[in-house]
Amino acid sequence: MIEVYPEQYELLLEEKKKAIQILFKNVKHPELAVYRSTTSHFRERVEFKIWHEAGKISFAMFNKGDKKTPIKLTSFPRASEKIANLMPNLLKKIEASEMLSKRLFQIDFLTTLRGGTLVTLIYHKKLTEEWEEEARELKNTFDIDLIGRSRKQKIIFDKDYVIETLSVAGKHFKYQQIENSFTQPNAGVCEKMLTWAYENTQNSEGDLLELYCGNGNFTIPLSQNFNQVLATEIAKSSVKSALYNLESNNCENVNIVRLSSEEITQALNRDREFRRLAHLNLDDFKFKTIFVDPPRCGLDDKTLELVSTFDRIIYVSCNPETLRKNIEKLPDHKIDKFALFDQFPYTDHIECGVILSR
């Protein structure tokens, strides 16, 4: 079992806070706001390898760089209560069936705060009609949505997504979250991130440009605070979910286009025309705020040039080091708000948010 020690949580969180203060000691900023996680059962998305030994199977994880020495799990207190409660009973049922257990090498769980549960079984074998019969029985036994995956196969019982409901400043927003696509794993902290961004953009003037919008996680609540929103995302599955989520939440002032940050920069600079923007007149937008939530590598230089032209920048970062480097290249802006979101307790991972103004 990978333990959690709630009595150590405050100490570990304080270490993260100190790490940020050291990293940003030469960057002028206001007091750091710290948003805590629950101390256990905080992960709504978990992936486990399956370890086969002497006719038995176990959930397993591995230390980084070591794929041969499994850490066999009897429980996983970091997982949501839904996952933690399901794990032993599901494993027992699968182990009792040679059809379900043979050549099974991974199980992925996706749960929600206020919705369903999706389980994906991943195999090194072809999934047959006999497997489908037993998998359907497994799904019905535990009242879950289930997916079977193998090479060039994806069998769905009955859908490949869950519907999450997140609470933001007293409002509730629904999100389709698709299996094997990115979602924030710590939904409780995600609500705090969304609320922070929402409350700090109320009564905004002008329009919002958002890069890396994913499934519309931030787009939907932030759209309440702007006249119009233009959001970009490159992954097709995320764009599909974002469109679904906009309709589900009656967001009529948002346009989503499948463009990379480099491409939208080219479009706004009028360096290149894109057919995916043919239905929009970019001159109709009065952008004053930009929202970015980039990958760990941060913003490239061209995107930074675009970002620097905005009066206000909202930057959510999963890598404080690239965040600092990017901020150092924005000398005309100052930090108005600075936050630490503890998405991943008991790890070194730190999620930050800053709001900068010219």
pLDDT tens sequence across 165-210: 999 999 999 999 999 888 899 999 999 999 999 999 999 999 999 9
Q: Which CATH number fits domain 45-162: 2.40.128.20, 1.10.260.40, 1.20.1630.10, 2.40.50.1070?
A: 2.40.50.1070
Could you give the CA distance from residue 326 to residue 27 in angstroms, rounded to a whole number?
11
Alpha helices in the chain, H assignment, sequence order: 9-23, 81-95, 98-101, 129-142, 187-199, 219-222, 236-248, 261-268, 301-307, 320-328
Arithmetic mean of pLDDT, 274-284: 91
Question: Once rounded to an integer, what is the mean pLDDT over residues 230-246?
Answer: 94
CA–CA gap between residue 267 and residue 278 (Å, rounded) = 11
Q: What is the pLDDT of residue 327?
A: 97
* Mean pLDDT for the chain overall: 95
Percent of the chain with pLDDT strictly greater than 90: 88
Query: If you write DSSP's letter for every residue of 116-141 in order, what string do you get?
Result: -EEEEEEESS---HHHHHHHHHHHHH
Q: May I ask the CATH architecture of the domain 6-39+186-357?
A: 3-Layer(aba) Sandwich (3.40)
The pLDDT value recorded for residue 2 is 65
Instruction: Answer yes or no: is pLDDT of 3 > 90.
Output: no
**Is 0.75 topped by the overall pTM?**
yes
In Å, the largest CA–CA distance within the chain is 67
Confidence check: pLDDT of 30 > 80? yes
Q: Examine the pLDDT at 5 and tell me if it is beyond 90.
A: no
Q: What pLDDT does residue 35 have?
A: 98
Cβ neighbour number for residue 283 with a 10 Å cutoff: 6
Least confident of 96-105, 138-147, 259-268, 282-291: 259-268
Active-site amino acid positions: 318, 351
Q: Is the pLDDT of residue 138 over 80?
A: yes
Instruction: Say which DSSP state 253 is in.
Output: S
**Average pLDDT of the segment spanning 254-279:** 91
Q: Residue 269: pLDDT above 90?
A: no
Q: How far is CA 190 from the centre of its chain?
A: 8
Write the DSSP symbol of residue 79.
B
Residue spans per domain, the chain: 6-39+186-357, 45-162
Residue 231 pLDDT exceeds 60 = yes
User: Tens digit of pLDDT for each residue in 280-317?
Assistant: 999 999 999 999 999 999 999 989 999 999 999 999 99
Those residues whose C-beta lies under 8 Å from the C-beta of residue 248, and which sit 6 or more positions away, are 174, 175, 176
The yes-or-no verdict on residue 1 having pLDDT over 70 is no
User: Distance between alpha carbon 299 and the CA centroid of its chain, in Å?
Assistant: 18
End-to-end CA distance of the chain: 49
Q: What value does the mean pLDDT take over residues 47-64?
A: 93
